[in-house]
Amino acid sequence: MNLQLMALPFLFLIACGGSEPTSETKKTAGPAAKTEAVSKKAAPTPPPTPKPAAEPEVPVVVDDGTTVTINLTADDAMKFNTAEIKIAAGRTVKLNLKHIGKMPAKMMGHNFVLLAQGTDMAAFSAAGVTAPDSDYIAKAMADKVIAQTKMLGGGESDSIEFKAPAAGTYDFLCTFPGHSAIMKGKLIVS
Ligand code: ZN
């Protein structure tokens, strides 16, 4: 009695999980083998199981040997899509920042600001709080900025181009007040 009860769900699992896909693959394996190469090209690949809100996977860093493209996103959860960006020295850098959230710039503004080495990020952020008109970058600290995008609201994007700085590790952040606690990362040039 006990054994039977335990075995039942087990058998059920085997029956459900195993039979369908194996019989299908067996069917196609034999006769289709000869025309496999042709049918692979001709037959349209069946659409993969649809994922909710499936967006094309965009690589963060694309290097063509001359220009390195950096694709950054920032969202309403106050996050960049990466905290570490590695690029090669000597490249022209094209950086695309897209705010994939919905909130306006005044509430959830995001930018990308790359700082010169040796800059105290906390002090830089703190000084910027009183400078909303210059995207929260204090004028006195402006010389610490290697590159920056505009401050963006949800749905907006900006692209900038700059020369990769000398080999080394550089801090980047979003200068919107409070954001740099989370919205920060390292750009590593080597
Ligand atoms: Zn931000």
Q: In this predicted model, what pLDDT tens digit does every residue of 117-152 receive, in sequence order?
A: 999 999 999 999 999 999 999 999 999 999 999 999
Q: CA-CA-CA-CA torsion for 177, 160, 63, 78, nearest 10 degrees?
A: 20
Q: Is the pTM of this model over 0.95?
A: no
Distance 165 CA to ligand 1 centre (A): 23
> Which domains occur in the chain, in start order?
61-189 (2.60.40.420)
Q: What residues are neighbours of ligand 1 (ion), with CB under 5 Å? A: 110, 174, 176, 179, 183
pLDDT at position 57 is: 79
Distance CA 130, CA 113 (A): 17
